[in-house]
Amino acid sequence: MAEARILIVDDDPVVRRTVGFVLDEHGLGPVVAAADGEEAVRVALRDCPDVIVLDLRMPGMDGIAVCRRVRAQPSLAHTRIVLLSAELMGREQRILSSIGADEWIRKPIAPSRMVSVVKEQLARAAELRGGDQEALDEAAVTPPSAGVP
């Protein structure tokens, strides 16, 4: 299996470095970072990360818009999205699944929660990738004309 790829997106460089450090210390990664939503979408399309750790509130393209853009890309179907926010209110929590987020973490971030959530989401991404690979393997074994008289 290829190494897991994690994209950290936050407009605060301290958060990006801290999350990256915590994940690296626990052997998770490789980790890449983006400072805003536009960069996040570009990097996601280029690198096809397994997990995106995404700040909800950013200037310009916010986390909701990034989430929707990522979910619209078939090449990122396996990608898991973990939203970060200091302000997750009841209304925002309810819309997370409707925009395609898989999990959320409240700021300030507890390192143990970050590690456990990212590990869980990496496992789920691997399952989804595995399913894709099985379908590709089956297509490679079955000739296109199989079953055609």
- What pLDDT, in 10s, does the model give residues 116-136? 999 999 999 999 988 654 433
Q: Residues of the chain with pLDDT > 70: what percent?
A: 81
- What pLDDT, in 10s, does the model give residues 51-92? 999 999 999 999 999 999 999 999 999 999 999 988 766 666
- For residue 37, pLDDT over 90 is answered with yes
Biggest alpha carbon–alpha carbon distance for the chain: 63
pLDDT at 85: 87
Number of CB atoms found within 10 A of residue 103's CB: 18
User: Mean pLDDT across the chain, nearest whole number?
Assistant: 84
Quote the crossing angle between the two packed helices 111-141 and 13-25, to the nearest 10°.
70
- pTM, rounded to two decimals: 0.83
Q: Which fold has domain 6-141?
A: Rossmann fold (3.40.50)
Residue spans of the domains in the chain: they are 6-141
DSSP class of residue 148 equals -
